[in-house]
Each structure stands twice: as C-alpha cells, then as structure tokens.
Amino acid sequence: MKHRIAGRRLDRTTEHRTAMFKNMVTSLLRHERIQTTAPKAKELRRIADKVITLAKKGSPHARRQAYRQVRDVEVLNKLFETIGPRFARRPGGYTRIIRVGRRVGDNAELAVIELTERAPVEAPPAKKAEEKAEKPKAKAAASRKAAPAGKPAPAEKAEKAEKKAAKKPKKEKA
C-alpha cells in the first residue's frame, strides 16, 4: 500500500525529476503558458501553486523559499513584483490545465498549463504593421537590383515565361 506517498515518479530518478520540475516552473512563470504532457502538468501545478502562494506573502523569507524552486533571479523578481500581487485576492487555483490532444510520435496526452490570470497582451503599434507591408516591396526591388547584369531576377524570369506562353499558338489536334 502506498500510504503517505504523494507525487508521480514519471519514470525518472529523483534528481532528474526535481531538476525537471524546477526548470518547468521557471518556464511557466516566465512565459505564463507552456505545453507539456498531462501527468507532468498535473504534478507541475502542485509546485507552481506553492511558489505563487509564497509570492503572495512577499516576505524576505518567502523569497528565499521560492528561490529554492526558481533559480532565475529575473523570473523570481517577476514572480514577486507582478505575479504575486496579481493573485493577491485569489485563494488558490492559480493555474489551469487544458488538454490539447495527443503527440504524434508516442501518442502521449498533451496539455497546456497556464496561469489563470494572464498578463494582457499588448497590441503592436500601427507603425510596425505599415513597415511590414513596405518590406516585401522593398525586398522585391532589392532582388531586382541585386541580380547580376547577365542573369535576370526571379520576377523578370516569371514575366518572360508568361510572355513566351502567350506568343506560342496551341497546336490543334485533327
């Protein structure tokens, strides 16, 4: 009987499993959404919720305890400065697991784990969209200029092929 034994082994050694979950919780807090297998996501939820609860406390001792799981100082600062205050009124349930199907190679069940209250995504400014529209035109003009004198650019080749096809009369079968 497995009394008082919690957690999944996931067919890994203890060292590998702890290192994997430390990396995964760091990635989850950095990107606020990651894709993994369903059993890993379920186990990751336990760790991530504990770390976010520590961030809600905000004390130096809680920061040291969270540093044991999240070894990246940049992510730790994000955790205590933005993520912790964002979940201040929520009494738990900081993550959501969404099943997305099966992996092609081994048919493993995949899931997306994400923070329930994600940061709003900023819309790109209109200037960047206009610049992107101008870039293909500039690239086409540059490719025409970059072509050597003896060889026509790819756009010119296509135009010449169309002209030749239009000139040739189709032979009629009798």
pLDDT in tens, 111-170: 999 999 887 767 666 665 555 566 665 555 555 555 555 555 666 666 666 666 666 665
Q: What is the pLDDT of residue 119?
A: 76
The pair of structure tokens assigned to 148 is 């050597």
Dist CA 130 CA 141 (whole Å): 17
Q: Which of 89, 97, 104, 17 is nearest to 56 (CA)?
A: 89
Strand partners, 93: none
- Mean predicted confidence (pLDDT) in 10-27: 96
21 vs 121 pLDDT, higher one: 21
Q: Which of 22, 88, 89, 20 is nearest to 55 (CA)?
A: 88
26 vs 172 pLDDT, higher one: 26
Which domains, from first to last, does the chain contain?
14-115 (3.90.1030.10), 126-167 (no CATH)
Given a contact cutoff of 8 angstroms between Cβ atoms, the answer to whether 7 and 43 are in contact is yes
Q: What is the pLDDT of residue 120?
A: 75
pLDDT in tens, 64-99: 999 999 999 999 999 999 999 999 999 999 999 999
**Cβ-count burial of 112 within 10 angstroms (0-12 exposed, 13-18 middle, 19+ buried)?**
middle
